[in-house]
Structure formats: C-alpha cells, structure tokens
Amino acid sequence: MTTVTQTHLPQTTEPRNDGIDLDMDWVMSVQANTSAIERRAATLPGRRSVKKDYQAAWLARAITCIDLTTLSGDDTPGRVRRLCAKARQPVRADILKQLGLPHIQTGAVCVYHDMIATAVEALDGSGIPVAAVSTGFPAGLSPFHLRVAEIEESVKAGAAEIDIVISRRHVLTGNWQALYDEMRTFRAACGDAHVKAILATGELGTLRNVARASLICMMAGADFIKTSTGKESVNATLPVSLTMIRAIRAYHQRTGLRVGYKPAGGISKAKDALTYLALMKDELGNRWLEPDLFRFGASSLLGDIERQLEHHLTGAYSAAHRHPIG
C-alpha cells in the first residue's frame, strides 16, 4: 500500500487582519517591473517538480485548499447539495484508503446568495464554511448601499466567508482613497465573516495597478486578496499571482499580519495546482500552504486531481465520469 504525508484542515491561530490607516506614501512607492515578473513567472512551471508519493501528498493538500464553486444562473438546490456532498468527500474512499490518507475535505463551498441556506444545511456538522459572492458580483456596479446590504444579508443567512468585488474604476482612475473607504465599509459589513477582496486583475490594466490595489485592500482589512471573479476574459495568471503574493509578503513584513491569497478562474489542471503551491512555498513559506491562508477558486480542478491520484495508484487514467463533481 502506498502511504503519503497526511494532510489536514488546521484551525487557524492567526490574528485577523484588522487593517491599518491608509499610507499613501507606501502605496505610491509601489512599482512593478513587468518584464522581470514575467520572466520569473515563465520559469515557475519547471522550477519545482514533485513526483510519485510526494506529488500525491501535494495534490491532497491542494484539495483541502479548494473553494468548490458553482456560480451559474441555472444553479438549483439539488446541484448545490451534490456539490456539498462532494466537498465532504472529495476523493473516493477506496483511493484514500490505498494512499493511506485520512479523511480530507475541501476548504469551502462558494455559491450565490440564494443558495447559502441550502449549502449551510447540506454542510451542517462538517466544519466546511460556506462562502458567498457579493457586492453585485461579478461587475460590482449595483448601487453602493445595495452592495453593503447584500453582504449583511449573506452573513445573516449563514455565510462564513464573503467574496466581494472592488470597483475597478477606483483603480483605473487612481482614486485610492475611494478604494480604501469602499473596502473598509465592506469589511465592517462582514462582521465576523472573513472577507476576500476580488481585484478582477484582468481588468486593472497594469501589474502596478494590481500591486497597489492589493496593498490598499489589505490596508483596509481584507482577510484574503483574490485574483478574479472567473467571469473576466483573463483570470488568474502567474505574473499576476507573483505580483499579489509579493504584496502580501511586503504587508506581512511591515505589519506582522498574514493575509491569504486566492487565485481563481482558469485553474483546472492538477499540474497547475502544483505550480501555484510551489509558488506559495517559494515566496511565502509553508505557513501559506494551509487553507486558512490559501485557496483555489475552482469548479473543475478537483476532478482532474482525483484522476491524477487514481493514476498514481493504477498507472492508468480513468474516465472523467468516474469522478463527478456534483
């Protein structure tokens, strides 16, 4: 029997990021060397290669960091319940047994507001949090008071995590005070629920804008910064991820506070998950390989990881329908 390193879901002991006062000198000093970032990102897929039992262990860790997501207009209670069942048991029991792994589960289930109650009921007793997208997701262009009210309603409905979208126009026009004030208001509306700030990086124009927006959102109290809604034409990329991760590192060095990172959109292959995990380890260290500080926003990634784990055991790739998501 193959045995790999055990993966678990830790209880975070990290102090929450309450934010700091807006420091415009720090914000305006932030630059991004695009060519250097792109060169570094291009080397990432080949820099870390894990094989055999080590790869299986890393993939098991990746599963615990997935926000298993359904954000479709045709979502139904039945679909959400099936997704929650998959979150509870993301890998077939026979595969886990042969790998010598304990029970694992995903980091969260992410849904629209209308499906929060269904997800909370389906996940009762599992310890898996429900995340809800909010603030006029994905465009973030609804009236401001309605965006704040949407957060409050989602928290009231039982969401433990809120994925908000920022107003891209504040970044594109350099109105950093407005972005800070918006994020502070969203953070306050979340109360005890953790807030992930979606930057929609594919619509911010430059990596410098990405870096500055990342820093502003952390100053305003974001618990996580997240690349994308998954609805843009360009979602998570390695250059964007490297830029945001370096901002997280700078914020931690300055304040001592750890902020999480969530790449989302377009991450559907197990090999991509390994690259992102290696990037987090290289840039931020092992502490950021835990689900309280790192998440994948994904709907199809889990299926490919499960196929890779079965291939590790059997040497053959099974059909995708043997690993249904929901």
Instruction: Please list the active-site residues.
Output: 163, 226, 262
Quote the CA–CA distance of 31 and 154 in Å, as a whole number: 36
Helix axes 238-255, 270-284, angle to 10 degrees: 30
- Contact in structure between 296 and 64 (CB atoms under 8 Å): no
Cis peptide bond upstream of 102, omega within 30: no
The answer to whether the Cα torsion of 299, 301, 306, 310 is positive or negative is positive
Burial 233-257 (b: 16+ CB within 10 A, else e): eebbbbbbbbbbbbbbbbbbeeeeb
